Each structure stands twice: as structure tokens, then as C-alpha cells.
Structure 1
């Protein structure tokens, strides 16, 4: 079942086109990774999904309803965590969590207590005393304590330490197992790789690639480390071979996925003693997309 759909979503600010024909589909029980550099259009897209901004053109539907005109109804089933959380300074963390949970009609005290403990949060402190990381924890506990059907998470682990990032990832996977849907905008590529079923890469207001990680692997290179009985010759002359380096334990290089079969056949002639293969990462994929013709990275900070 389709939970979220944008069709030809376009947003202009004067003469500037911030979003140019964005198409996103998010199914029930799916985690969708939304990645791109700063200024690519991620936050603008999310603001339109939340009904904060009105699209210039195109259609945005969440739970089959219009994101702009039916925003109030949609928000009853939606939880949002921004990358920089602002809280009421005179309320305690616990009071803020209770307020957000009640707004969505939830009242699961056990879930609330379990999450407060998991995130190692002191809910009795006033929000003005919290660090950035603790403010993020309040928002995450409030989101995952509620009975939301869709979680929109915009850089949600900003300010969290690695241990808390792990707790966050467990919460996302639990939500997914419960049939909830998650739109995750993140610059932590390892996080996206672990959690997301599908990924959309946005650049300069356009989705330039979308699909499952396996479907996107064709855009990347596999890392190989090979040790052979005889010295490998002519490796640099093969199509699709890059960055050949001789190391103590053998020959290290990258291979375009479509040329992998031919390269392995060539290498096997020299008597393979050891072969280590590392799958291409999302970071490899992303950097390939943002390379200029001269090979230098482009597109702004990630």
C-alpha cells in the first residue's frame, strides 16, 4: 500500500527553481533514504510534505490525502524529527514528550519509559539545560512513543554519539517491523545503508537516481584484493579497472561492476591464492554521482 507519493513536485522561489519535478513513492513498512548535498532540496521537499510550504506545481499525497489542504488530518498519523530541535525552555523533557504523544492521541507509558531508558535521557530536567544531543533525544523519544504510521526524519541523529545512533537504528527497524513507514534524510551514509530499503539521490532540485541499493550497485565499483601464485600482468589494460595499487598482501584495485566477470577470468590465469571482495558502498555510489568531468567532487558539502 502506498503511504506517500509525490508527482512532478516543483517549488519555485521567484525565478529560482528549488525543486524540479520530484517523484517519490514510499510504501507501507518501507524505509526510504533521501540523500543529497546541502542545498540540493531535501529540506524544501520535507517542508512541503509536512504542509509548511505549498508546492508551486505537482501533487503530494500522504495516506491518500493532499499534503497542503489535509495537513491537520495527516499530522495525526505522522511523526517528524528535524535535525535541530527547538523545545519550550521552561518545560521538562518529560513534559514535552507527553505533550507530543497526547497530540497524536497516544498514551503508551511503557513505551515512553522504555525509550527514555534506552536513550539515557533525564526527563526531569528543563529543556533549556539540554545539550543539542539531549534535545534530539527528546524529539526521538516523543516520535517513537507515539502511534504514528509515518515517520519523517530529517538528519535525526545530528548531535548524537555513536551509541545513541545505534539505539536510533534499532527504533527505526522496530517501526519497520511493525509495518510503519519511514522517510529518512541523512548525511550518514552508513546509517542509510543499514536501514533503507530504497534510496533517492537528489541533486540541484532533481532526483537523479532512485532504487534499492542492489539496483544502484551498477553505478559503483567493487573493491578487490588479490594474491596470486604468479605476478599479474596487463591489469591496467583491462576495461573497468581503476586505482591499481601493489600491496604486501597482493594487488588492490577497483572494478566497474559490469566488467567484474572479465577481470576475474583474467586474474584467475595467474593462480589465485587469496581473493577478498568488498561490495561498493553507498558513499562510492554517491561520490560517482557528484564527480565533475575532471574527477573532482562537486555539488556542495554533504
Structure 2
């Protein structure tokens, strides 16, 4: 879903053959990716898959071994122009320990060219953050909140978020999701790197899956579910026909004590299964779509 109100603004993030080697270690290999303006894009993979490396390349913090990347058409090696378009939450928040949260936000706001003070204060209130203590005394969760406020308070066109809810409690995770949806509704683009699948499933319409530095899939959640296996529970009045030989059906599991009940796993179209059940007195037919976690694990 393009939440930017139907405006065609081109690619917010685009990479071509983006590759990063650290000696013999391939951290990212030939990444070709396009993230549309106004969408929340989930970037998935376990630790070490290349997610943080990708974000560092997009920020120009490391140089690629080969390939290119742009932010809203601006080459990422044009750091001064590209960074004006971007807000960033790092995976491991490191702030100046001697500064207060207030001073940190003022410093980062000045670097960004100024902020909307009213919006900054709204973010502080909604994230329940008191910025007056020095950073060194803040908990991990509160340091994460400072980073979130700093990234969002300038309303950047692109938000690069690397594990943005690390250290947040469930209430603040929910508030972050609300803030993310509101940002996308304003036309901002969110590139969300995470290994928390529930978070991605709740927020994102499209996801990319990284495995060992390579992009193995880009699809909407609905498309991924169609690719994945669906569990179907069938109860009939009488005996079930044989289902083991139905195309796409696997893992047929009978229900003890009920010869008319069975649980099956269906990959692809359920059409052949429904054809086999035609004319059978079906009492109940219940489907359970695969979770993002189940789909994700099929790639690993």
C-alpha cells in the first residue's frame, strides 16, 4: 500500500548491485532493491544477515565494494544532500554521555537545520520521555527514545530505522507503531530493519528477506502468505476421501477419535483440495494462514 496519498514520487531508496566485503567476509552481496516513497518497508534477516551493513551503506558511513545507492534520487555518496532527507535510528544507540537528553536533541536539531519544537515536545510526551537527565544516567529504553525523537522530530522524508524498538516496553512499542503509521500517512518513507517478526507483520505491507548477505525475496505479506503453506482443518459427516495424493497437500494429520476430521497443510492453490471435497458432506472447513515467522523460517 502506498500511504502517500497516491502520489508517484519515485523510489525513496534504490540500490543496484550494492555489495560490501570485509576482507574475505561478504557482508552484502549484489543488493538490487527499490523502496517506494510513502511505504513502510520491512527489511528482515537474523543477526549477521547484512541488514545493518545495508543501512550504513545507505548513510554513507561505509563505502561499498561495488554498486550504487540513492535516497530519493540523490546518490548516497553526496552525503550533505542525502542526509538532509534522512532520519536515522541506529541499532546500537550511542549518545554523548555528558549531555542531557534536552541538550542532545538541541544539538541534533541544530545539525539538521532546526526542528518543529511543538512536534518534538509531542513526541517526548507520547514516548513518555523526560529529557532533562544526563544521557549517562538514562536506561537503554530511554536512550532509544532519545534516538527515536531525534530521528522523527525533523519529519524527514526517509526514516532509516535499525531495530527501532530495542529496549522499549510493549506499551512504547505500540506507540512507536502508531507514530510510524502517522509518518507514512504524511508521505514519509520508513525503511525498517528488524528481526522482530511481529513488529514487521503489524506495520509493513512489503518486506525484503536477507539471508547471508543476499536478498532472497521481496513481496507483500499477502503474497508471502500465498507462497507459504496454509493449514486447513476439515471435518466431514462420515469418512474422508483420501487426501494424500492431492496436489499441494502435505502433512495429512488425522484427529484421534474422529475418523471424519483431519488437518492438512496446503501449499499453493487450494483448488485441487476443494475439488476432492466436492460432493463430500463437509461440516467444518477452517483455514489458518501462516504467520510471518513460519514463512520466514522456510527461507532458512
- With over 3 angstroms needed to count, the CA separation of the structure-2 counterparts of 1:147 and 1:278, relative to structure 1, is same
Name the residue aligned to 1:163: 171
Given candidates 128, 147, 153, the residue that maps to 1:145 is 153
Contact 1:157/1:168 (<8 A) preserved: yes
Q: How does 1:111-130 map to 2 (within 5 A)?
A: 111-130=119-138
Name the residue aligned to 1:266: 276
5+ residue gaps, structure 1, are 291-302
Name the residue aligned to 1:297: none
What is the distance in 2 between the residues matched to 1:66 and 1:248?
65
- With over 3 angstroms needed to count, the CA separation of the structure-2 counterparts of 1:27 and 1:128, relative to structure 1, is same
Name the residue aligned to 1:284: 294
Name the residue aligned to 1:32: 41
What is the distance in 2 between the residues matched to 1:101 and 1:251?
60
Name the residue aligned to 1:300: none
What is the distance in 2 between the residues matched to 1:127 and 1:159?
15
Q: Is the aligned partner of 1:6 residue 2:44?
A: no
**Number of residue pairs matched?**
288
Contact 1:226/1:276 (<8 A) preserved: yes
- With over 3 angstroms needed to count, the CA separation of the structure-2 counterparts of 1:251 and 1:39, relative to structure 1, is same
- With over 3 angstroms needed to count, the CA separation of the structure-2 counterparts of 1:244 and 1:106, relative to structure 1, is farther
Name the residue aligned to 2:207: 199
- With over 3 angstroms needed to count, the CA separation of the structure-2 counterparts of 1:7 and 1:247, relative to structure 1, is farther
What is the distance in 1 between the residues matched to 2:139 and 2:233?
44
Structure 1, residues 1-41: CA drift from partner, whole Å, max 9, x if none? 11211001111222332222101111210111111122111
What is the distance in 2 between the residues matched to 1:138 and 1:247?
55
What is the distance in 2 between the residues matched to 1:72 and 1:254?
52
Q: How does 1:75-224 map to 2 (within 5 A)?
A: 75-224=83-232
Q: CA deviation at 1:248?
A: 8.1
What is the distance in 2 between the residues matched to 1:195 and 1:170?
9
Contact 1:84/1:132 (<8 A) preserved: no
* TM-align CA RMSD: 1.9
Q: How does 1:6-85 map to 2 (within 5 A)?
A: 6-68=15-77, 70-85=78-93
Moved more, 28-37 or 190-199: 190-199
What is the distance in 1 between the residues matched to 2:257 and 2:124?
49
